[in-house]
A and B are shown apart, each in its own frame.
Chain A
Amino acid sequence: MSRPDPIRKSSPDTKKNPLSTEEQLKQREFQDEAIVHINALYNYALHLTLNPHDANDLVQETYLKAYKFFGSFEKGTNCKAWLFKILKNNYINRYRKNAREPGKVDYDLIKDFYHTIKDTRRDSTETETDYFHSLLHEEVYMAMQSLPEEFREVIQLCDIEGFTYEEIANMVESPIGTVRSRLYRGRKLLRVQLEEYAKKFGFNTEKDR
């Protein structure tokens, strides 16, 4: 009489396989749950580091850690939020180690970075007269980067990544009320920046072009 295939039961003999059944299961789950968020993590890392090379490293470190500690990930909770939190911690450690100051923005670097991708992602639908619509991706990006980190961060997590306030509060280790007010103030600051960019590069620059 043969028993139904007991997937989880592996005899000591199966050691030939370098990975245990359990490990294989973990891998599969990790791929389904965690690796699907790689684009979001990469974007977040880019926003934090402003450097594709650093972003690569950061995402890789994040996944390495996430894999190691995947056992402690609570199933049913938001895996993307969990990964973001790991990435954020990695980022903080890295900056502390390198004694670089987060928040200090190298505008030339951002510009260069943007120009390298601009051609591939051109939006040709910007014909509206509304000054907001005259803004280019680069300007919005620059305006975002000009915000103090605490504001930029919540805007990124909320507007770009679509996390709930509760998830954001957990990620930035602050109460929800703080998240609310940072979003409020951050958006206000951003609006001022965007208007300035629009004025500078949009409407009043016809003769400069």
Chain B
Amino acid sequence: MKCDKARELMSAAVDGELTNRENQAFTLHLQECPACTAEFEEAKKTKQIIQEKIVRFKAPQSLINSIMELSLSGTKEPSDSPMID
């Protein structure tokens, strides 16, 4: 495998989306290519940072309530009500 092919597979390797065959070839390439290995490590780290550092918000209770109501009142169209903050 050449570096450009490895780069093509890089994201899928990070996300565990490679087929067995691709995975084998990719792993073999990494063993002999420090540059791609470094890039692979960086890509994994970037993913990890996003997962760790992106704040997850909770939907406001008012929103949850209005959606529960919406589904409880059937398919009735809600009025253009101002949202509660």
Contacts and interface: CB of A to CB of B under 8 A. Distances in A.
Interface stretch (A4-12, A55-63, A72-80, A95-103): A55-63
Contacts of A35: 64, 67-68, 71
Contact of B11 (A132, A164, A183, A191): A183
Contact of B59 (A39, A64, A160, A164): A39
A82 interface: no
A60 B57 contact: no
A187 B46 contact: yes
A53 B9 CA distance: 39
A180 B16 CA distance: 12
B85 to A, nearest CB: 7
B57 A42 contact: yes
Main secondary structure of the interface of B (DSSP, over half): helix
B55 A141 contact: yes
A191 B42 contact: yes
Contact of A117 (B12, B55, B67, B68): B55
B58 A140 contact: no
18 contacts: A30-B71, A35-B67, A39-B59, A53-B83, A53-B85, A56-B63, A59-B67, A64-B70, A117-B55, A132-B49, A137-B53, A141-B53, A144-B50, A144-B54, A159-B51, A159-B54, A180-B9, A187-B47
Interface of A: 18-19, 23, 27, 30-31, 35, 38-39, 41-43, 46, 52-53, 56-57, 59-60, 63-64, 67-68, 117, 121, 123, 132, 135-137, 140-141, 144, 155, 158-160, 164-165, 180-181, 183-184, 187-188, 190-191, 194
